[in-house]
């Protein structure tokens, strides 16, 4: 099985960001569906380590997010880098309803989902969580600890 993926890290507040991890799995042989599903959940659980590493007090984080929301109401936009990734994901024509929850592997703070079209050799996995750190800090974490 081959796996390729991308992380999208979006700043929400100076010390808060949303991280989304999307993986594409390619069955290069005849892997049973049960094994494929187990590996999707396992690979997406990497997001838990990042969330736990940066965890802070929820009330402080909530205030930071609210402050930024109020300040950004008149000037919301999407960067060109985010647009390129969104365009790539949209080109595959995924609809929100296609993402099936991996409830056994998810937890209240990290939502895991998958797409596997019956008869196709590719599958996609997605993990989403809120991380109590700036997008720059999370990017630095990946640079320092994940290479």
In the chain the first and final C-alpha atoms are separated, in Å, by 21
Distance from C-alpha of 57 to C-alpha of 145, rounded to nearest angstrom: 23
Show me where the domains of the chain are located.
2-145
Mean pLDDT by 10 residues, the chain (147 residues): 84 87 81 77 85 83 71 62 71 75 90 83 86 78 61
Is the Cβ–Cβ distance between 109 and 132 less than 8 Å? no
CB-based contact 46:138 (threshold 8 Å):
no
Q: Rounded to whole angstroms, how far apart are CA atoms 25 and 116?
A: 9
Residue 73: the pLDDT is: 52
Per the CB < 8 A criterion, the answer to whether 60 and 141 are in contact is: no
pLDDT of residue 20: 92
* 87 close to 8: Cβ distance less than 8 angstroms: no
**pLDDT the model gives residue 77:** 59
Contact in structure between 131 and 24 (CB atoms under 8 Å): no
Q: Are 116 and 33 in contact (CB under 8 A)?
A: yes
Measuring CA to CA, how many Å separate 89 from each of 63, 65, 104?
A: 32, 27, 25
**pTM, entire model:** 0.53
pLDDT of amino acid 88: 66
Cβ 126 vs Cβ 50: under 8 Å: no
Question: Do the beta carbons of residue 8 and residue 20 sit within 8 Å?
Answer: yes
- Tell me the C-alpha distance between 102 and 113, whole Å: 5
């Amino acid at each position: 099985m081959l796996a390729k993926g991308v992380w999208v890290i979006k700043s929400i507040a100076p010390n808060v960001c949303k991280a989304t991890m999307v993986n594409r799995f390619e069955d290069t042989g005849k892997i049973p569906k049960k094994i494929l599903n187990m590996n999707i959940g396992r690979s997406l659980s990497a997001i838990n380590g990042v969330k736990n590493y940066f965890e802070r007090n929820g009330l402080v984080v909530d205030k930071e997010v609210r402050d930024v929301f109020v300040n950004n109401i008149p000037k919301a936009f999407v960067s060109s880098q985010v647009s390129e990734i969104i365009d790539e994901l949209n080109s595959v024509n995924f609809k929100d309803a296609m993402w099936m929850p991996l409830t056994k592997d998810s937890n209240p703070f990290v939502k895991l989902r998958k797409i596997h079209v019956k008869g196709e050799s590719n599958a996609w996995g997605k993990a989403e969580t809120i991380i109590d750190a700036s997008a720059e800090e999370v990017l630095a974490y990946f640079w320092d600890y994940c290479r």
